[in-house]
Structure 1
């Protein structure tokens, strides 16, 4: 009995080998047509491949899109940071160009005022409640600054020194509403017209040039400068130009509206002008007129 089973197993093995060799030989033949088992197997595999291919392609595309979106986000974030840097740099360049232009104008003004002592200063503070009244600068008594010295920009006069400490000073602008804020001035023309800058018209954005004789003819666009009669301010500092002339409230004299040459709103750099000498006669005029 055991011998029978051994022979049976040997016969099965031999038959299997023969079939395998036959199949190998059959598959190696150059055939134009597949057998039905091969067709079935191939079609089945192809069908499963076609079913799985599309979802796999979608999944691969989905993850690829996520990766591209992430890369795009990072690039966009980087570009925004670069754009912010560019805007900041551009603003800084414009600020430096504006400051450079103002400093060049100040240097040119120094040349024209070389007969007077000039001290350059920078505005360090400005109270919003007194924007048209006061500014604070970084030069004081230790730098030779004294009360009532004229303060100018490259465009023209803006005010005078009101208070002085050791290292800083307070400048009162010409636009300040103060009865004592008076400047002795001249309207330049064929015949100079003397008067006082007293007050500021906020609505017109103009200084008030008062005490012009009624019979004196003053025209628009005539230049207004300091007279130097007070003995403190140098003569010839530009204040502005005439924009309108009207009779005063009593009709005895005239008043001119003066457009300031300097910008009272945007002030960064200023110059303090010290008059090098004054005469007794000028000091007397200062006491009589009460102006500078």
Structure 2
């Protein structure tokens, strides 16, 4: 009896396998029309696929967008960092180019000052409240700087040494409002006109050259240079050019308004001129 049930089960298993293989073969062959069970299963699976596809795609797209956003943020951060480095490097290059340009001008200036002993210096201090009056340079007595020595830039005269310490010195600028700040000067022309630089017009940013004889014809744009007569400033140093001339109230002298050859707002590299003969200017 048990043998009979075992054989029966084996026969059913074999029949089931044969039917399954037949169904698989039937479903795999090319057909233009599906059976209704197949159509039902396919439609049902397609319906549920459409239901879950959009949320899954949305969630997947969200994570993808977040990842792209993070990547963009990191990339922008790197680019900003590189841009900051570029700006810093560009600023340093511009400063070096300007310093190099100033030094080249000074080197060229030394060729015209062989009868003097130029001492190169750098401006290391300037008081905002006395911007037009004083600067501090990094050379002093130990480098040969002494009081009343002339100080020039590549563009021309800027002032004289007011006081000297061992390592630094204070330079009084031509624009300083000081009654004792006077320079013997010449207006160049067909006939030179002599006068004295004393005073500064703050409103027009012009130097005042006074005591010019009334009968001297002064042309605008004429160069003004040092005369060298005082013994402090070497002769021939450019001061500026004439932009205006006025007769004084008594009609005996003229006053010329001089545009400085040097930009007094931007002084970085200078030379202190040492000469053998010095006197009161």
Same fold (TM over 0.5): yes
CA distance in 1, matches of 2:57, 2:8: 50
CA distance in 2, matches of 1:51, 1:92: 62
CA distance in 2, matches of 1:48, 1:262: 86
**What's the offset of the Cα at 1:117?**
0.9
SS state of the match for residue 83, structure 1?
Answer: helix
Q: Say whether the 8 Å CA contact 1:152–1:272 is kept in structure 2.
A: yes
**Closer, same or farther in 2 for the Cα pair 1:256/1:31, shift >3 Å?**
closer
Q: Say whether the 8 Å CA contact 1:233–1:274 is kept in structure 2.
A: no
Partner of 2:252: 252
Partner of 1:233: 233
CA distance in 2, matches of 1:209, 1:127: 26
Q: Say whether the 8 Å CA contact 1:117–1:276 is kept in structure 2.
A: no
Residue of structure 2 aligned with 1:15, choices 3, 12, 16: 12
CA distance in 2, matches of 1:28, 1:224: 113
CA distance in 1, matches of 2:136, 2:30: 104
SS state of the match for residue 111, structure 2?
Answer: helix
Q: How does the TM-score come out when normalised to structure 2?
A: 0.92
Partner of 2:193: 193
**What's the offset of the Cα at 1:148?**
0.7
Greater displacement, 247-256 / 103-112: 247-256
Partner of 1:88: 88
CA distance in 2, matches of 1:262, 1:193: 22
**What's the offset of the Cα at 1:93?**
1.8
CA distance in 2, matches of 1:206, 1:122: 25
User: Is 1:107 matched with 2:107?
Assistant: yes
Q: Say whether the 8 Å CA contact 1:214–1:247 is kept in structure 2.
A: yes
Over the aligned positions, Cα root-mean-square deviation in angstroms equals: 2.0
Partner of 2:142: 142
Partner of 1:168: 168
SS state of the match for residue 56, structure 2?
Answer: helix
Greater displacement, 6-15 / 221-230: 6-15
Q: Cα deviation per residue 1:217-258 (whole Å; 9 max; x = unaligned)?
A: 111111111111112221111111111110123322111111
CA distance in 2, matches of 1:242, 1:47: 95
**What's the offset of the Cα at 1:41?**
2.3
Q: How does the TM-score come out when normalised to structure 1?
A: 0.89
**Closer, same or farther in 2 for the Cα pair 1:24/1:34, shift >3 Å?**
farther
SS state of the match for residue 112, structure 1?
Answer: coil
Partner of 1:214: 214
CA distance in 2, matches of 1:20, 1:45: 26
**Which structure 2 residue ranges, 5 or more long, are not aligned?**
none
**Which structure 1 residue ranges, 5 or more long, are not aligned?**
287-291
**Closer, same or farther in 2 for the Cα pair 1:78/1:218, shift >3 Å?**
same
Greater displacement, 105-114 / 36-45: 36-45
CA distance in 2, matches of 1:126, 1:249: 37
Q: Cα deviation per residue 1:157-204 (whole Å; 9 max; x = unaligned)?
A: 011100110000000100011111111111122222221111000111
Partner of 1:133: 133
**What's the offset of the Cα at 1:277?**
3.0
Partner of 1:97: 97
